[in-house]
Structure 1
Amino acid sequence: MPPDRTGTSADGIAPGAPQPKRAADLLRALRVRNFALFWTGQLISGTGTWMQMVAMAWIVLEISGSAAVLGMVTTLQFLPLLMFVLPAGVLADRFPKRTIMLTAQTLAALQAVVLGFLALTGSPQIWQLALLAFTLGVSNAFNYPAQQAFVPELVGSALVPEAVAMNSVQFNSSRMIGFALGGLAVARLSAAAVFFINAASFTAALAALLALRTGELRLSRSRPARHGALREGFRYVAHTPAVLFVLGALAVVGTFGYNWPVAAPLLARDVLNVESVGFGALMSAFGAGSLVAGVGLVVVGGSSERRMITSGAVLALTLVLLGVSRVYPVSLGLMMLAGLSGTVFTTTVNTRLQGLTPDRLRGRVMSLFVLLLAGTTPFGSALLGLGAEAFGISAAVIAFGAVTLAGLAVLLVLHARRPRPGRAR
C-alpha cells in the first residue's frame, strides 16, 4: 500500500518521525550484528575507494593536462549509472541484494587491480583509464541500489533512520580519511600503490557480506517485482507528490552541485596552485564537514522539506564562493561547509525516501535516488570540464552554483503552487 497524504509509508515510518534524537541512538543500529559487520566492511572499502578517486583524478590530469579530458573520464565513470541503475533497481527488488553486492564489489576490486598493474608498468593511456572508469561505473550501477535498499533488511523498519544516519557517518568518515590518505599516498608512494590498496580494501567488504547471518535478515514479505516493474516504480513516483518533490531537488543538486571529482582537482591545480597533497587536504576538509553533518543529524533528528531546500541552497552559495576564492585556507573552510551542507541535503533526501517508500518498491525508488545523485554526473562533469576549458574553472564553478540555486528556487515555487488536498484550485 503506497503512502497516504500524510506521508506515512507502508513501513509505518513517516518522514521526520521517528528520527534519532540523541547521539547514543547511533549505537542502536550497530548493536545489530549484521549491520555492524556490513558497516565496518563498507568503512574500510570506502576508504580505499576514495583514495583511488584522488589517484585517478591526479593521474588523468598528469597525463592529459586537460580539464575536458578529466571531465570526459569522470563522465564515463558515472555514465553506467545513467544507463543501468534503473534496471538494477528492479533486480534489487527481484533477487537477493547480498548476492548482487558480492558480484558488483568483486568486479570493482578487479578493476582496481588492473589499474594498479597499468600504473606500475608504465604510463597508462587515457583510453585505458576511460575504459576502466566505465567498468567501475557498471559495478557501481548495480551495487548502489542494492546497497541502499539492503538497509531495512539489516536492521528492520524501526531502525531505518538510525541506520541511514550511521551510514552517513561511515560514508563521510571514509571520504575524509580516504582523501587525506590518497593525497599523501600519491605524493609519497605512487598512484599504483593507491590502486592496489583499494583492491585490498574490498576484501573487508566482501568478507563482511559473506559473514552475514542470512537467517537474521528482515526480508520483505511483498511479492517480488514482475513484468512492468519499472513502470510501476515510475507510476508510484509520479502519483506521490512528496516523493516527486524530493527527487526533483535531488536532480538539480546532483547535476549541478555535486561535481567534485572534476571541480576539486582543477581548483587545486589551476587556482590555488597546490599539488596532490593539497588536493587531498581540500577533499579531506569536505569529508570533515560531511562527518560533522552526519553526527549532527543524529543529534538533531528530523527530516523536513525545509531542511532539504535550505541545505541545498547553502551548498549552491558555497560553490559560488569557492569560485571566487583565491586563498587556500579560505577554500579549505568553504570545502568543509560544502561537505556539511551537501551531506545534510543528501541524508535528508535519503531518509525521506526510505520513509515514504513501501518495501516492494524500495529498490526501484532508491535506484532513482542513485540515478539523480550520481547518474546525472555525466552531464554535469562534461559541462563543467568544457566550461573550465572555455572560461576557466572559477567561472564554471560560479555558474554551476548559480544554476543550482536558481533550479531549487524554481522547484520550490512550483511545489508551493501545487494544489493541496482540501484546498481549492
Structure 2
Amino acid sequence: MRSALAHTFRSLSLRNFRLFAAGQIVSVTGTWMMVTAQDWLVLSLTGDSGAALGLVTALQFTPVLLLTLYGGRLADRYDKRALLVGANLVSGVLALLLALLVLTGTVRLAHLYVAALSLGLVNAVEIPTRMSFVSELVGSDLLPNASALSTAYFSTARVVGPAGAGALVAWLGAGWVMLFNGFSYLAAVAGLLMMRPGELHRGPVRTGGSGVVDGLRYVASRRDLTLPLALVAVVGLFGLNFQVTLPLIARTVFDADATSFGLLTTAFAAGSLLAALVTTARTGRPPSTLVTGSALVFGALEVAAGWAPTFAAAMVSLFLTGLASTYFAQAANHRIQLGTRADQRGRVMALYTLILQGTTPVGSLLVGGTSGVLGARSGLWLGGLVSAAAGAVAMAADRRRADGDPPRDNAPAAADVSDKQ
C-alpha cells in the first residue's frame, strides 16, 4: 500500500513541484470558489438568464481564443516562472477589485463582463505557461505523473471550492468568496518564489523558428498530433460547457439553492479527481485509440446526465461524466505533450489550450442559447451527442491509417516514449 502511494505521488518527491502544487491547490480552490460565486451572482442579477451566463463565460475565454498562441510563444522565449508570478499577481488584483464592488453593493452586470474579459487576458498567457512549466519542474520521465497530479489538485479544488462557495454565498454573500480568491493567489506566488531555479529542467534555447507560425507548421507536420487536437476541438466546443449547463440545471430543473448547486458541481469535480488519480499510474504516451474511445464514452455519459430524473441521480451521473471528461482530457493532453519536442512545447500546449478553452466562447453561447430555447437539459444532450459522434468518427478514421508514426524531428521530443496505457 505504501509503495503504491509512493508511486502515485512520486513527483512530489521534488521540492520545486511540491511548492508549485501547494500554491496551486490554494489558488485554484479560490478560483473555483470565485467561479461558483460569479455564476450565481450573474443568474441572480439577470433572473436566471442562460444567455447572460453564456456571455460572461464567452468573455472570459475569448482572449484565450485570440491570444493564447502568442502566450505560448512568450512561454517558449522567456522565464516561465517569472511569467507565472506576474500573471498570478494581476489575477489577484482583478479579483480584489471585483470583491470590493460586490461588498459595497455597487456591482453591476457590466462589471462582471469587464472582470471576465480582463481575467481572460491574463489566462491567455498563464495557462500555456503553467502547462509547459510542469515539464521544467519534473523532467520528461515524471511528466505523465506530474501532469496527472496537477489535474488531481485542480479536481480537488473543484470539489472543495464549489462546495465551500455554495455555503459561503448562502451565509455571507458572493463578495466574501471573491475576497478570499483575491488573496489566494499569494499562495501560488509564494510557491513560485521559493523554488530553486537551479533544479529546473530547462532545455537549450533554439535560435530561429521561434514564432507562432513555426509552431503551427510543426503541429501540421505531425499526424499523431492533429487527430487528438481535432477531437479536443469538437468535444471542447460542444461537450465541455459545464460552467453554463450546471448552474442552469441546478436552478431551472431542480430548483436548487446555492448550497445544492455547489453539491452538483462537487459531484462532477469528484469524478474528475478520481480520473486524475487513476491516470497518475500512466508511465508513457497513451495510444490514439484510448483518446478516441474515451471521447465516445464521455459523450454517452453526458447524454445520460441530461436525462437524470432526480437531484440524486444527477449527482451520480455528473460524477461519472466528470470522471470521463477528465480521463479524455488527460489522455489527449499526454498524447500531445509527450510527443512534442521540448523547444516547441510552449506553443503546442498553447494550441491545445486554444482549442480546448478557446472554443468555450462559441460553445457557451451556443449551449446557453440552446438551453434558453429548449430547456437546460438540452445543453447536456447536445454536447453529449456531438462528443460521442466525434469520438466514433475519429476512431473510424484512426483505423483507416497507421497510427503512432515516429515524430519527424531532427531532435527527439523531451519525452520520446512508447505508447502505454
Q: Settle same-fold status: TM greater than 0.5.
A: yes
4+ runs of 1 displaced by more than 3 Å? Answer: 299-302, 418-422
Q: Which protein has greater RCO, CA pairs closer than 8 Å, 6+ apart?
A: 1
Q: What do the CA deviations read for 1:231-280 (whole angstroms, capped 9, x no partner)?
A: 21111111111111111111111111110110000000001111111111
Q: Equivalent of 2:246, from 264, 283, 290?
A: 264
Q: Structure 2: how far apart are the matches of 1:387 and 1:254?
A: 16
Shift of 1:410: 2.2
**Is residue 2:277 matched to residue 1:276?**
no
Structure 1 residue 327 displacement after superposition: 0.4
Q: Give the alignment partner of residue 83 of structure 2, picking from 86, 91, 100.
A: 100
Equivalent residues in 2 for 1:407-418 (5 A)? 407-418=390-401
Q: 1:322 to 1:239 in 2, by over 3 A?
A: same
Q: Is the 8 A contact 1:271 1:326 kept in 2?
A: no
Aligned-residue offset at 1:340: 0.6
Residues in 1 aligned to 2:164 and 2:297: alpha-carbon distance in whole angstroms: 28
Supply the AA of the counterpart residue of 1:199: G
Matched, 1:390 2:373: yes
Counterpart of 2:19? 37
- Map residues 22-421 of structure 1 onto 2, 5 A cutoff: 22-65=4-47, 66-223=49-206, 226=208, 229-299=211-281, 303-418=286-401
TM-aligned CA deviation for residue 133 of structure 1: 0.4
For 1:98 and 1:43, the matched residues in 2 are separated by 17
Which amino acid in the other structure matches residue 59 of structure 2?
L
Structure 1 pair 395–206 and aligned structure 2 pair: CA distance change class (3 A): same
Q: Is the 8 A contact 1:223 1:360 kept in 2?
A: yes
Aligned-residue offset at 1:298:
2.3
CA distance in 2 between counterparts of 1:214 and 1:381 reads 40
User: CA offsets per residue over residues 30-69 of structure 1, 9 Å max, x none?
Assistant: 1111111001100110000000000000000000121101
CA distance in 2, matches of 1:204, 1:249: 35
Q: Which amino acid aligns with 1:244?
A: T
Residue 351 of structure 1 aligns to a residue in which SS? helix
TM-score, normalised relative to structure 2: 0.92
In 1: Cα distance, 2:378 partner to 2:404 partner: 44
Q: 1:388-408 CA distances to partner (integer Å, 9 max, x unpaired)?
A: 111111123212211111222
**Alpha-carbon distance in structure 1 between the residues aligned to 2:121 and 2:282:** 36
Number of equivalences: 401
SS in 2 for 1:223: coil
1:11 corresponds to: none
The Cα of 1:123 is off from its aligned counterpart by 4.8
RMSD: 1.7
Q: What letter matches 2:30 in structure 1?
A: G
Q: CA deviation at 1:213?
A: 0.9
Deviation digits for residues 184-203 of structure 1 (CA, Å, limit 9, x no counterpart): 11111110000001011111
- Name the CA distance, whole Å, in 2 between partners of 1:420 and 1:336: 32
CA distance in 2, matches of 1:420, 1:192: 51
**Which runs of no fewer than 5 residues in structure 1 stay unpaired?**
1-20
Distance in structure 2 (CA, Å) of the matches to 1:145 and 1:297: 21
Q: Relative to structure 1, is the Cα distance of residues 231 and 335 closer, same or farther in structure 2, using a 3 angstrom cutoff? A: same
Q: Distance in 2 between matches of 1:113 and 1:142?
A: 20
Does the 8 A contact of 1:272 with 1:326 survive in 2?
Answer: no
Distance 1:263 1:227, change over 3 A: same
Alpha-carbon deviation of 1:416? 2.6
Show structure 2 runs of 5+ residues with no match: 406-421
The alpha-carbon deviation at position 420 of structure 1 amounts to: 6.4
Q: Structure 1 length as normaliser, TM-score? A: 0.91
Give 1:407's aligned amino acid: A
Amino acid at match of 1:274: A
Partner of 1:14: none
CA distance in 1, matches of 2:382, 2:152: 30
Higher mean displacement: 55-64 or 250-259: 250-259
What is the alpha-carbon distance in structure 1 between the residues aligned to residue 63 and residue 404 of structure 2? 39
SS at match of 1:322: helix
Quote how far apart the aligned CAs of 1:305 are.
2.1
- Give the deviation of 1:70 after TM superposition: 0.6
Q: Could you tell me whether the CA contact under 8 Å between 2:34 and 2:178 is conserved in 1?
A: yes
In structure 1, C-alpha distance between the alignment counterparts of 2:321 and 2:328, rounded to whole Å: 10
CA distance in 1, matches of 2:187, 2:381: 40
Q: Is the 8 A contact 2:337 2:345 kept in 1?
A: yes
Look up the match of 2:418: none
Residue 158 of structure 1 aligns to a residue whose secondary structure is coil
What is the letter of the counterpart of residue 38 of structure 1? F
The answer on whether the counterparts of 1:23 and 1:295 sit within 8 Å (CA) in structure 2 is no
